[in-house]
Amino acid sequence: MDLQTAKLNVLQKIMGVNKPSLLDKINKLLDKELIVGYTVNGEPLTKDSYNKRLKIAESQLLSGDYISQEELEAESENW
């Protein structure tokens, strides 16, 4: 079965679901598994991995673990 056929089969099954709790489970699974972006190295990011990286970045900012634009420009002059 090709990808397009598989998608249509899944879509037909979802359209037949009448149980809200099952739709909620499907939605949560898709939220967890779907790729929402990519790292600068081209690695795929799921919503969960993106949010984890965001929390790390926020804590780095709060702890002062970053360099300013001016510091980066000064550093890049030595490249």
pLDDT, position 26? 95
User: Mean pLDDT over residues 29-47, rounded?
Assistant: 92
Is the pTM higher than 0.85?
no
Report residue 55: phi and psi, to 5°. Answer: -65, -40
Residue 32 clears pLDDT 90, i.e. is over it: no
Confidence of residue 1 (pLDDT cuts 50, 70, 90): confident
pLDDT, position 6? 96
pLDDT, position 31? 84
Phi-psi region at 32: left, alpha or beta (left = phi > 0; alpha = psi -120 to 50): alpha
